[in-house]
């Protein structure tokens, strides 16, 4: 009886663990590298309840948007997420040549890749960044960015 119980315990454990393994296999380290934050400019803030998001990018990207040019290769956008004033995590988008080719067409978001970094800059391995891409895909008309419209343009009002 004891042995039977043990065996069913093991079976139950295997059933419990399998989805966790499956999830961590789907999560990924991709080509996004954590940027040098000192080189970025904080251009807008989004507040929602206890959440404060500082959104930043490179001076070159700001210049490109201002001049209505495409965002240059090598650009990072970072959303620094604070909860009750404490640093919680960083959401990072990086654009680079060939980044889009890592994904099939349905998932691809131009040449952008996405990553979730914790406050200690380690990757959140429980995140499948397909989720990021799926939501940001709705912004394909604005180079996959939600807040680019907050960057001032030359000669007139912001687009979008």
Calpha distance 13→104 (Å, rounded): 35
Greatest Cα pair distance in the chain = 81
Q: Restricting to residues 12-71, which ones interact with ligand HEC according to CB under 6 A?
A: 46, 53, 55
CB of 64 or CB of 136, closer to ligand HEC? 136
CB of 159 to ligand HEC, least distance (A): 14
Calpha distance 146→121 (Å, rounded): 23
Neighbour-count burial of 10, counting CB atoms closer than 10 A to its CB (0-12 exposed, 13-18 middle, 19+ buried): exposed
CB of 55 or CB of 65, closer to ligand HEC? 55
Is residue 125 within 8 Å of residue 25, measured between CB atoms? no
Calpha distance 106→126 (Å, rounded): 22
CB of 99 or CB of 114, closer to ligand HEC? 114
Q: Restricting to residues 94-133, which ones interact with ligand HEC according to CB under 6 A?
A: 114-116, 127, 129, 131-132
* Listed ranges 17-25, 61-69, 77-85, 103-111: which one lies at the site for ligand HEC (CB under 6 A): 77-85
Calpha distance 154→135 (Å, rounded): 29
Is residue 104 within 8 Å of residue 85, measured between CB atoms? no
Q: Restricting to residues 130-159, which ones interact with ligand HEC according to CB under 6 A?
A: 131-132, 135-136, 145-147
In the set 43, 91, 99, 112, which binds ligand HEC (CB under 6 A)?
Answer: 91
CB of 106 to ligand HEC, least distance (A): 16
- Residues near ligand HEC (CB under 6 A): 46, 53, 55, 77-79, 91-93, 114-116, 127, 129, 131-132, 135-136, 145-147
């Amino acid at each position: 009886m004891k042995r039977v119980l043990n065996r069913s315990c093991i079976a139950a454990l295997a059933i419990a663990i399998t989805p966790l393994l499956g999830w961590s296999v789907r999560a990924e380290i991709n080509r996004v590298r954590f940027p040098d934050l000192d080189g970025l400019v904080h251009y807008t803030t989004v507040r929602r309840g206890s959440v404060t998001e500082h959104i930043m990018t490179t001076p070159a990207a700001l210049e490109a948007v201002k001049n209505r040019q495409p965002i240059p290769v090598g650009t990072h956008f970072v959303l620094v997420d604070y909860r009750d004033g404490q640093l919680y995590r960083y959401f990072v988008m990086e654009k680079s040549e060939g980044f889009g080719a890592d994904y099939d067409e349905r998932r691809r978001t131009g040449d952008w890749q996405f990553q979730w970094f914790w406050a200690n800059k380690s990757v959140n391995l429980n995140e499948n960044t397909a989720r990021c891409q799926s939501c940001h895909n709705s912004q394909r008309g604005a180079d996959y960015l939600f807040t680019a419209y907050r960057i001032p343009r030359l000669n007139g009002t912001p687009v979008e």
